[in-house]
Structure formats: structure tokens, C-alpha cells
Structure 1
Amino acid sequence: MARPLLSAHAERRTSVDYPYSETMYASVHHERRAAFGAELYGALGIGSGDHTARAVYDAESLRFYGAPHAAFLFVQGDGEARLAADVGAYMQTLLLAMTAYGVDSCPQGLLSFYADTVRAELGVTGGRLLVGISFGYADASSPVNQVKTERAPLESTTAFHDQGPSSESVRP
């Protein structure tokens, strides 16, 4: 599967089922992505201006970062964002199950940029490609696996609303 993806990448033959734009991210998300990128490329010894080395590393994602397996999640039907959310919930459950069984995983949005290639290689005739997931057992000695994505505090990403006691609440 990696060879056709690399060929499509080299030929700039992308086919995205779900539109992508940098403008879809809020400034705080751009900041978080930049901070993670700096840490990731720093761990790999790739400088911020070394675009060639960055491109070489980015192409590794099309080789699933060396993972022996990849899953591709497709959305079926016309539900647009609603069905994409359902597939996202499924993906989270899958990732958590893999973790519970000691399997490491990496969701990869870039794999979805080659939807037609993936469909052709896998013989998939319907659906829209949402995301790919590489999985296997991580090489703990690899510098990239030492990088941990910082998490925003819960209170900065989530609002909880207390509705108080309700006359319709369930009582034991």
C-alpha cells in the first residue's frame, strides 16, 4: 500500500474526500500544531528551515512510519458531518482498544489526501475516506516516540453546565 501512496504523493496526485484548509483551524490550534511540530522535528534533529528534511520525514507517514499495519476509515451515506462524527467516535474506541491490548497507533490525516489511491488499492467501491491509522508496536528507542503532545487544560477546552436538580431526575 505504501508504494502507491508514495507514487501518488510524488506525482502530486491528491484526492481528498473531505475538504481541507489551514483556515479551518483557530489560531490556538495553529499555535499548538506549531509547538508540537517544533518539538517533533527538534527530536529528529531537523531544523525549522530544513524543508527538504521535513519533506523526507513527512513522506514517511505514507510508509505508515514503519508500522506493519494500517486501517482506513470510510464514511458511508449522506450524513456529512454527522456520519463523520460517528466514524470519529468509532475511531476513538478502536484506538483505546488498541492501547488496552498494548498496540500502538497513530491516526494520520495525510493518508486521507490520497482517497482515490487507497480505494483503488483496497478495492473499495463506496464511501469517503476520513482518516488512516497506522498501528503496531512502537520502537521505544526512537526519538520520535519520546515526544509527547502537550494537552490543553480541560477547563480551556470544555464548558460544563450544571442544570441543578430536576424534577425529572431518575431516583433509585
Structure 2
Amino acid sequence: MFDLDQTIKDRHSTRKFLSQPVPRALLDEALALAQLAPSNSNIQPWRLVFAQGDRRDRLQEALLNQAKQQPNVSPLPSAFQYYRQELGAQVYGAMGITRDDKANRQLAVLRNYEFFGAPMVAIVCMHQDLGVADALSVGMYLQTLVLSLTARGIGTCVEVSLATYPEIIRNELNISPELLIICGLAVGYPDPDFPANHLHISRESVEKNVSFQGD
């Protein structure tokens, strides 16, 4: 049994992985637990496609080529850009990359499409006809999976950036057109020598996000 409170505190985005493969037995344990996540009308809308070995490498090559030719950034309303900038300052700062070092910042961005060196990447999808409530169900599944992996010493990084090139992913992994590509999930063992892997990104106070009404 694992300490849930400590597992939640330990979870963080891994931004450099070792090449060591993840034992399939550990992955299967985490997937079985994630399958217990709640969902709207119990439709269990999550769909995952894992890529490793040659399939992973071909996907990386295709994504990198496209990202170099046509850089895309996942959209974010201007009112929320501050959070992305603050995150970048913390992550790049830990990597020794200054704000005006555009060359190394661009190289750091491209590492997203290398899955930060993870030996395995999952593509998270749901049926295109489903809505916000079902996306919430996928989110609860994904969080359960990430925490289950964390408890087993396996690192993860949820990668929204991968979804900016859905057709490349669809073509490389033969994902059905009826599935909406939501994000990627890099999976592997964290590199303990990489400074950014020891970051715990700051959070707002609970009071900023939660209110209580009534007696």
C-alpha cells in the first residue's frame, strides 16, 4: 500500500528521463488502478495508445521535423499567459537558461517532441462526439494513472504540446479519425542528475481557487 498524501506531493513533471525501460508489470498495475476512475454514465471515455521502440522513435522524428519547420504553441488566452511565463522562468532557470538565450530556449522547447528522452509515450484520446463532462472523466483517469505510476517510482510528464500536431500523431500511430487527441504522456524513470527534475512548481493558495457559501 502507498501513502496517498505523500504520492500527491511527490508527483511532478519529469523533464529528463533515463533510457531504462519501464517493466510492463508495473505499467499494467497502474493502468488497472486508473481504470477505476469515475466517468460520466460510466462510459470510460479514455483511450490510450502507447508507443515505444521503433514506433516511438519514428513518431519523435516526424514531430521534430514538423516542429522545426512549423513551430506551434498550444493556445492560451492572454489573461493566463502569466502562468506559462512563470513556469518557463522556473524550469529554464533550473536548466541554467536565461530569458534572453533564445537559441537554448528553442532547443528546450524541441525536447517536448523528444518526449524528454522517455522510452515510452502514450497518446491520450477520447471520441470526438463527446463533450466537456467526458473530458473531465479523461482527466480523472489520467491523474489516477499518473499518481499510480508515481507511487511505483515511475516519472511522467503530461504533454499538451504534442496535441498541436494531431495529424502527424494520427498517421504515425494509426489512430482512428473519430478519436480526438487530447495530450501526450511521457513515461519512464526520471534522471536524478537533471536539476529541473527536482522542481516542485509553486501553486496558488487554496483560497484563490475555492470559495464556500452558506453556513
1:3 to 2:61 alignment: yes
Structure 2: 5+ residue runs without aligned partners? Answer: 1-58
TM-score by length of structure 2 reads 0.67
1:69 deviates by 0.9
Structure 1: 5+ residue runs without aligned partners? Answer: 165-172
TM-score by length of structure 1 reads 0.82
Say if 1:44 and 1:144, in contact at 8 Å, map to a contact too.
Answer: yes
Q: Secondary structure at the match of 2:202?
A: coil
2:195 equivalent in structure 1: 143
Q: Distance in 2 between matches of 1:35 and 1:124?
A: 34
2:120 equivalent in structure 1: 69
1:22 equivalent in structure 2: 76
Say if 1:13 and 1:114, in contact at 8 Å, map to a contact too.
Answer: no
- Measured against aligned partners, the alpha-carbon deviations of 1:9-68 in whole angstroms (never above 9, x if no partner) come to 123186x9xxx5331x63xx4333222211211111111011111111110110011111
Q: 1:33 aligns with which of 84, 87, 90?
A: 84
Q: Distance in 2 between matches of 1:61 and 1:47?
A: 19
TM-aligned CA distance change 1:92 to 1:161, over 3 Å: farther
Q: Which has the larger radius of gyration?
A: 1
RMSD: 2.0
Between stretches 66-75 and 33-42, larger displacement belongs to 33-42
Q: Secondary structure at the match of 1:49?
A: coil
1:114 deviates by 1.1
- Measured against aligned partners, the alpha-carbon deviations of 1:91-125 in whole angstroms (never above 9, x if no partner) come to 11111111122111000110111111111111111
Identity %: 29
Q: 1:108 aligns with which of 112, 137, 159?
A: 159
Say if 1:76 and 1:83, in contact at 8 Å, map to a contact too.
Answer: no
Count, aligned residues? 156
1:12 equivalent in structure 2: 70
TM-aligned CA distance change 1:57 to 1:13, over 3 Å: closer
